[in-house]
Structure 1
């Protein structure tokens, strides 16, 4: 039976910081991470999607968390085919994903930024979350092959946002494609009634890792503000329905990362606490009232 690690997709989200979940005296950068890591064994770094990660920050994260705690780092936007803002590009480089020279330098900066996590054995995975326009086809497969070549030796997880990848007629080909490169498939929980909804499948494409990300079930996914898209509070019934699925996955992989992305207020950490309890794992005592 593989380990099931439960956490959230951010520990620095402004709505979480403002929710009061962090106790008085632990609301600075160091205190927040230490507090979070006392309660969960895994976290996703989402800031690395918006700006390239800094080597110094990665070293601090290792120092401020206990042995065994791991970070899933979201790949920088340009590396997944998303646009990037000129202001976050290194050394004045243009945000031109079509320029091989630019991409080489961006990859080098990203690799250097996460190197302390890799060397310390604290890199859970690098999450490549592809955009909705990244659809199945020869160009996408070539992109995945290039990504695999550049990241050889890294633990990778892939989340597709175009639903065609996991529709019944395509699912086996997608599974085989990711398995070829040892990339862990990301399963998602979201509102199933939307045209953009990813089918609720849990494919295994790597014996080392499986990732499940809970986005919430808001009807505003893809259309509303960030708060509208992620404003959702899971109840025990919804989470409990996932417990047998997670345990079945744990029979097939070494480790599962269960990550809550309904980052509106403290909804994600509360859902993670509830899932931990439903899985029969110990839940740390609540922080003192603030």
Structure 2
């Protein structure tokens, strides 16, 4: 049985996209709805920069179609400032800040590591042990939040579901078999990140789903993908899906407004493997 392929963009609020991807006159509050009607998933990246609010997550859930799924990017306070160490409370705050309000639209959680953080098996394993693997576990963790989200925490779970996690690395020390073994042992996905050659591109799938981030074919965050490049990525994603893996892929080449158009072109190539309906 084939897995499902979901394709979209990383973020959706970009001024240069207006009058190019977004039609002239479209209200900013309607941009998510417009993008979601053309994508099969979107990666929330505002959660990387700061703790969002439950009302924002609820609004995002309500303004997207039934069956739509969001990936949520974990906070940089956890990954870049704390570097995954001593993050019990920061993790509680993150999950209390609203991701559970997405309900059944909550997809995988992305943890992007900084270029300054090298491979440390013990640090990674301890972090993986702390990650909640179900929404009920996330709610229990979230209940231990501190004053940063006091009075605005969302701890309610409408139905228990799995929470998947993916890790994106940006240091050459991760190019060792031990890292892939650690991911497989902990059921964590490796992000297959195309960064125009700047950071490691590792194509291994380490759990029951694949997570792809396309940051630019030849110029980081800027260049688009040619038809040939999109054909190659489509073939790779199709192969994983036909092996039974679910696939999530997000374009992050937003500077020159390539991301949404590349996403739609890739969706067209894999339309038969998209979510039902």
Q: Number of residue pairs matched? A: 244
Name which of 226, 233, 238 aligns with 1:242.
233
1:40-90 alpha-carbon deviations (Å, 9 max, x no partner): 11001111111112111111111111111111111000111x13xxxxxxx
1:216-250 alpha-carbon deviations (Å, 9 max, x no partner): 0345xxxxxxxxx4121111011111222111111
Alignment root-mean-square deviation, CA: 2.3
Give the superposition deviation at 1:13.
2.4
Residue equivalent to 1:179:
184
Residue equivalent to 2:92:
108
SS in 2 for 1:5: strand
Output aligned runs, 1:158-169, within 5 Å: 158-165=167-174, 167=175
Rounded to whole Å, the distance in 2 between the matches of 1:279 and 1:98 is 36
Rounded to whole Å, the distance in 2 between the matches of 1:270 and 1:281 is 19
Structure 1 residue runs of 4 or more that deviate by more than 4 Å after TM superposition: 96-100, 280-283
Rounded to whole Å, the distance in 1 between the matches of 2:33 and 2:54 is 19
Give the superposition deviation at 1:98.
9.2
SS in 2 for 1:211: strand
Rounded to whole Å, the distance in 2 between the matches of 1:22 and 1:99 is 41
SS in 2 for 1:182: coil
Name which of 107, 111, 114 aligns with 1:128.
111
Residue equivalent to 1:23:
23
Shift of the 241–116 alpha-carbon distance from structure 1 to 2, 3 Å rule, reads: same
TM-score by length of structure 2 reads 0.80
Rounded to whole Å, the distance in 2 between the matches of 1:137 and 1:273 is 38
Residue equivalent to 1:258:
249
1:155 aligns with 2:164: yes
Residue equivalent to 1:70:
69
In structure 2, stretches of 5+ residues that fail to align are 135-162
Give the superposition deviation at 1:137.
2.6
Give the superposition deviation at 1:148.
3.3
Rounded to whole Å, the distance in 2 between the matches of 1:159 and 1:99 is 17
Residue equivalent to 2:152:
none
SS in 1 for 2:110: strand
SS in 1 for 2:203: coil
Shift of the 159–237 alpha-carbon distance from structure 1 to 2, 3 Å rule, reads: same
In structure 1, stretches of 5+ residues that fail to align are 84-95, 220-228, 284-290
Rounded to whole Å, the distance in 2 between the matches of 1:277 and 1:142 is 40
Rounded to whole Å, the distance in 1 between the matches of 2:119 and 2:61 is 37
Residue equivalent to 2:214:
214
Q: Does the Cα contact within 8 Å between 1:70 and 1:123 map onto a contact in 2?
A: yes
Q: Does the Cα contact within 8 Å between 1:210 and 1:253 map onto a contact in 2?
A: no
Output aligned runs, 1:27-46, within 5 Å: 27-29=27-29, 31-46=30-45
TM-score by length of structure 1 reads 0.77
1:146-201 alpha-carbon deviations (Å, 9 max, x no partner): 24323232211111111331x3xx1x322221122211111022323xxx4313x3
Q: Does the Cα contact within 8 Å between 1:218 and 1:230 map onto a contact in 2?
A: no
